[in-house]
Amino acid sequence: MKKLLLTSLVVLFSIVSQADIINCSFTEPFINTSYSMAQQSLTYSSYSGPNGELEKTVVKNVSFQIKSVGLFELIKDGKVLQTLTLDNKGSDGMSDNNYPYSVKDNSMLTGANGGYGGCQSNSLKTKSE
């Protein structure tokens, strides 16, 4: 059992280590996030300016932590910003896209989806149904 868990972690780590960028989509509020492993930054993007212009907020020094097989957290100063689950059940709440990761963003507690969305990475892409 220990050998199976270790093998699973190695395989997942190799997939995740190739995932330099993880992009997430949310609806209501309509926000996209992008996590760069190389820069250890989480960028929030939304078209919410006074004239509908793109606004970006960058959070730096965000660590990517593997909590268990298929469970990951983006953490800043001990606070969990996002929890990602590799379950192939991610959804942006609006489209028919099937995302490899389900995500819960802890800063988006209001809105129709309460901070739940879907994510893809460089190596694990979204599939349209």
pLDDT tens digits for range 81-122: 999 999 999 998 888 899 999 999 998 776 668 889 999 999
What pLDDT, in 10s, does the model give residues 60-89?
A: 999 999 999 999 999 999 999 999 999 999
pLDDT score of 49: 66
Which tokens in the block code for residue 84?
């990602």
Phi then psi for 2, rounded to 5 degrees?
A: -65, -40
Q: For the chain, what are the domain ranges?
A: 2-128
Band of the pLDDT at 129, cuts 50, 70, 90? low
pTM of the model: 0.80
Give the single-character DSSP code of 62.
P
